Amino acid sequence: MAGQTNAFEMAQQQFDHVAGLLRLDPQVAEILRWPMREFHFRIPVRMDDGSIRIFEGFRVQHNDARGPNKGGIRFHPAETVDTVRALAFWMTWKCATADLPLGGGKGGVIVDPATLSTSEKERLCRGYIDVMWRNLGPRIDVPAPDVGTTPQMMGWMMDEYSKLVGQYTPGVITGKPLGGGGSLGRTEATGYGVIYAVREAMRHLGMDPAKSVAAIQGFGNVAQYAAIGFTEMLGGKVVCVSYWDRDDKCSYTVSKPDGINPRFLMSITDQYGSINKAKASAEGYSIEDGSEWIGKEADVLIPAALEGQINGETVRRVHPRVRLVAEGANGPTTPEADEVFNKNGVFVIPDFLCNAGGVTVSYFESVQNDMNYYWTKEETLSRLDTKMTIAFHGVLDMSLKENTCMRDAAYMVAIDRVVKAMQLRGWV
């Protein structure tokens, strides 16, 4: 999905590096380097004009030693099986790092959802479940939204699954709409989770959040709530966000040196994430090239769009003031860029720790579905804060003990937990 970067090769490189540090048994490493199961399929969909269009879909189940596979479904025109593999792989480590009793899965469909009508989207979502339902379920594999998919789509998918199995089964999918089995706090979860991790990192680094400046890439679900959290919870300043403009087919950075107002920008963002440039300009925002976000003079960078965005090339543009990188997106930093950050003493909160808030509240959602009893938003977010804080400190402790960067430490925590589960179950 991100130009030349093969996300799965990058994920395997990260894993091999840590497997070496841990002196992991090569046979155990070989199990973990690859998904346990993969589904590649084609979904026929009746279009509004009566024609049939065939969409290519994937579901990858990386490892379910610790519990049912868990992971979103992406609708993206440049989706590839390797992207889905990488994301499923990271889900295993993410759930283990956050100590959730879940494994790693991910799904995708090659489609630009913006080109479909609402009823075509509904038929595609139902079609995905019609193909996959025997291999999904609250105790098997639980999908959720990701890039290009929405709570409404999860509602359709849950409905289709419930019809096929003959009983209301809200726990088959998370990220559902409120009132349709969804959890309060799920919308904010990933972005706020990023900010809970940033808060703990700043405490560790001795940074004053109220005097800190952040530059954010993306302005979707994760970026929006990270921007709100950074300004409203931490009292810091966000100088820019960026987004992909569907009409102009390019990305823009929307910036304001004295601080953006994320709630205003949300109010002028359409459902596909395009910001109304005229309205933003009228309020004093500058509209710059999409790549500008990375060079901003900031203390914190929050890449929250796509993978491979901070790479060997773009890392050179990072301002020397940057001390902290909080990976809201999955896989935004390539190993070459990671090396530069490590050399320059930039503290990176790795993706599968930093953005674990989404899957944590997804897990809370399935717990609530099982209980058929729903928590308040405050209860959900406070439990999320506790989980994120414990996860952050577990990784920080490992990083201090082993004298490694946070990414390697997160892999160490996660691999250890997954290998233990495989041993306990007698797999290895």
Active-site positions read 106
Q: Is residue 299 within 8 Å of 324, Cβ to Cβ?
A: yes
Give the shortest CB-325-to-ligand NAD separation in angstroms.
Answer: 14
Instruction: Pull the structure tokens for residue 161.
Output: 């699954």
Pairing of strands 37-46, 52-63: antiparallel
Strands (E), 218-269: 237-245, 250-255
Q: Report the SS3 class of residue 64.
A: coil
Q: 172 or 241: whose CB is closer to ligand NAD? A: 241
- Residues of this chain that interact with ligand NAD (CB under 6 A) are 146-148, 190, 217-223, 242-244, 251, 273, 290, 304-306, 328-330, 355, 358
Strands (E), 119-217: 141-145, 213-217
Q: Report the distance separating Cα 411 and Cα 84, nearest Å.
A: 19
Give the shortest CB-237-to-ligand NAD separation in angstroms.
Answer: 20
Closest CA to 415 of 87, 97, 9: 97
Give the shortest CB-281-to-ligand NAD separation in angstroms.
Answer: 18
Q: 19 or 290: whose CB is closer to ligand NAD? A: 290
Q: Report the distance separating Cα 68 and Cα 363, nearest Å.
A: 11
Give the shortest CB-106-to-ligand NAD separation in angstroms.
Answer: 9
Q: 38 or 288: whose CB is closer to ligand NAD? A: 288
Q: 29 or 364: whose CB is closer to ligand NAD? A: 364
The number of residues in the chain equals 428
Query: Token match 């990305």: residue?
Result: 251
Element (H, E) at 156: helix 151-165
Give the shortest CB-293-to-ligand NAD separation in angstroms.
Answer: 8
Q: Is residue 273 within 8 Å of 312, Cβ to Cβ?
A: no
Q: 29 or 109: whose CB is closer to ligand NAD? A: 109
Q: 97 or 190: whose CB is closer to ligand NAD? A: 190
| CA Rg value for the chain | 20
Partners of 214 in the β-ladder: 238, 300
Element (H, E) at 105: strand 103-110
CA–centroid distance for 370 within its chain: 24
Closest chain position to ligand NAD (CB): 220
Give the shortest CB-135-to-ligand NAD separation in angstroms.
Answer: 22
Q: Report the distance separating Cα 85 and Cα 38, nearest Å.
A: 8
Give the shortest CB-253-to-ligand NAD separation in angstroms.
Answer: 8
What contacts 384, CB < 8 A, 6 or more positions away?
Answer: 185, 189, 192, 193, 196, 357, 360, 361, 364
Q: How many other CB atoms are found less than 10 A from the CB of residue 286?
A: 14
Give the shortest CB-15-to-ligand NAD separation in angstroms.
Answer: 18
Q: 132 or 305: whose CB is closer to ligand NAD? A: 305
Q: 30 or 248: whose CB is closer to ligand NAD? A: 248
Instruction: Pull the structure tokens for residue 392.
Output: 């952050």
Q: Report the distance separating Cα 296 and Cα 426, nearest Å.
A: 51
Q: Is residue 281 within 8 Å of 195, Cβ to Cβ?
A: no
